[in-house]
Amino acid sequence: MLKNLKALLTEGESYTIEFKETADKSLAAEVCAFANASGGKVFIGVNDKGQIVGTDVSNTARSRIQDTINQIEPRLKVKIDIQENIIIITVPEGKQKPYSCSKGFYLRSGPNSQKLERDSIIEFLQTEGKVIYDSIVNEDYQITDNFNEEAYKSYFEKSGISDVLPREVTLKNLGCAEMSSKGELSFTNAGILFFRDNSQNVRFDFSHVVCALYKGTEKVDILDAKNLSGGIIENIDNAIVFLKRNLRVRYEIKTVQRKNILELPEDALREAITNAVCHRDYFEKGARVMVEIYDDRVEITNPGSVPKGITTDNFGNMSITRNPIIASLLHRAHYIERMGTGIKRMNQAMEKLGLKKPEFQTEGLFFKVIFKRDLSIVGDNQEKIGDKSAIIGDNSLAIGDKLKKCKDRKSVVLSYLEENGKITTLETANLFGLKESRGRDVLKGMIDDELIEKVGNKRGAYYVLKSS
C-alpha cells in the first residue's frame, strides 16, 4: 500500500491531489475547493515536492482536522485515513454546491485552489444550475401592477394555448409567476421579460435589443439605429423589421404576383436573433443583444458565450440553455422549433440561397453570429438578373435614411403587407423612422383610399389588405 502511495506522490499535485506538510488554517479552503469541483484527496505530511515528511496522526490531531472540516457549509462528509505517518483526506464531489468556509468560496482550478469573487461566484452558480436567472422571483414586480395585457393576448395567439384557466394559474404553469415572501403573486424574471408593462422597464433596459446600420465596414458612421425596449417576442419581431428595412431585396416575378427575396434568408436571421435573446446571460447587465448591419456583413451578438458542456465537437448538435423557462416559452410560441437544431437550420437556409454558411465566434464573454453579404451586388440600381428578377441596390427604399424621406409610403406598406399579411401602427412607424402617431396617419390615409382595412380595436389592432 505504501509503495502505491509513493508512486502516486511522484505524480505531483493536480486537479484532484493536494499536498500539505501540516493541517494549517488553509485546510478548510482546500477541502471546500475540492467539494465545489470534482472531489479529490488532501495528503497531510507531504511537502510540495511530493516527499513524505510526516505529521501528527494522533486521535487529537484527527479530531482537530474534523473540527476544521465541520466549519464548511453545508456540512460535508469526508473520509480520513492514516498511512504510516501521513493523513489522507478523501473529499467527494459535493452534492449541495456551493460550499463555503470562513474565508469564502473556493474552487479547484488545475493544481490550485482559487477564491471566488462575486462575478465568479455568480458564474459558478449558473454553471452548476443552482441559480437560473429566468426562474428567480422578482418581488418588486407584482402581477396586478405591472401586467401587459396586449403582450399576454398576443402570446396566446402565437402559441395556440387555450386561455381557459385563471390567469394566475396559467402564469404559474408557464413559470412566469410565483408567490413572493410577502404572499403576493409576483413575476419571475421570465415573466417580466415576456409580460411586463413596458412603461415599468427602466431597471430592465439591459434586456433591450439594439439595432444599428453603419456606413462602410467599420462601426463609425451610423445611418439608422433603433433601441427595441419591448418584451422578448416583440423585440425579435421588430429586429426582423429593422433588418428587412435595411437589407437589399431581390424581386422575383415568375407568376402574376411579385415575390420579394431578402438578400439574407429571413429564417436564418430570425433564428440567430431568437437564439441571442434566448441564450444570453441576463446576469450581465452591462451589455445588450446587438443587431448590426455593415456593408459586407450582418453581426448578431449576445452577452454570454456558449454554456458549459458545449464543446467544439458537439457545437450545433447539442442544446444546453442557461434560460430554460425563456426557451420553453419561445418553443410554445413556435419561435424555437426543436432544441439543438438552430445552427443547422441557419446553415441550410444560407446554402439554399447559395450563400456562405454563417460564422460563429464562441470565445470570450460574447457569442456572435456573422452573416456575410454578397459584395458583388452592392451598388445603385443593379442590372436585371435573368429575365424575370432584379436586385434593388443602395438606392432601394429598403435603406434606412432614404425610407425616412420616401414620399410613396403607401407602396412600401403595400409591399410589406404582400409579404407579411398584416401590419401594426408601430411597425409602420418603424418602417419610416416616424413616431407611432405619424405611422397611424399613413395607415388612415390608406384606409380612406380603400387600400387596407383595420382588424380589431385599440392596442391589439392591425391592418390587412382590403378584400376585393
Which CATH number belongs to the domain containing residue 461 in this structure?
A: 1.10.10.10
For 466, list phi and psi in degrees, rounded to 5.
-70, 135
Number of domains into which the chain is organized: 4
The per-residue pLDDT for 251 is: 66
Q: How far is Cα 104 from Cα 87, in angstroms, rounded to an integer?
A: 25
Instruction: Give the lowest-confidence range in 135-144, 252-261, 362-371, 433-442.
Output: 252-261
- Whether residue 163 is found in the same domain as residue 51: no
Nearest-CA neighbor of 190 among 142, 138, 135? 135
Q: Is 324 a member of any domain?
A: no
Residue 238 included in any domain: yes
**Do both 154 and 264 map to the same domain?**
no
pLDDT of amino acid 369: 95
In a domain, 127, yes or no: no
Of residues 10 and 320, more confidently modeled: 10
Final residue belonging to a domain, choices 116, 144, 179: 116
CB-hemisphere CA count at 13 Å for 399? Answer: 18
Is the same domain home to 242 and 347?
Answer: yes
Q: Is residue 321 part of a domain?
A: no
Same domain, 181 and 46: no
Q: Which of 58, 82, 116 is the last residue of a domain?
A: 116
Provide the pLDDT for residue 238.
94
Name the residue range of residue 56's domain. 2-116
438 inside domain: yes
- Do 390 and 382 meet the contact criterion of CB atoms below 8 Å apart? yes
Place of cell 448538435: 317
Q: Residue 383: pLDDT band by 50, 70, 90 thresholds?
A: very low
Residue 331 within a domain: no
pLDDT band at 395 (very low <50, low <70, confident <90, very high): very low
The CATH number of whichever domain residue 232 belongs to comes to: 3.30.565.60
Same domain, 303 and 353: yes
Task: Among 46-55, 68-77, 211-220, 452-461, name the one with the lowest average pLDDT.
Answer: 452-461
Q: Is the pLDDT of residue 295 over 90?
A: yes
SS3 content of the chain, % helix, strand, coil (to 5): 35, 25, 40
Residue closest to 458 by CA, chosen among 149, 147, 191 = 149
Same structural domain, 41 and 184: no
Does residue 324 have a cis peptide bond before it, meaning omega lies within 30 degrees of 0?
A: no
Tens-digit pLDDT profile for residues 343-367? 888 999 999 888 999 999 876 788 9
Cα gap 154→459, rounded to integer Å: 11
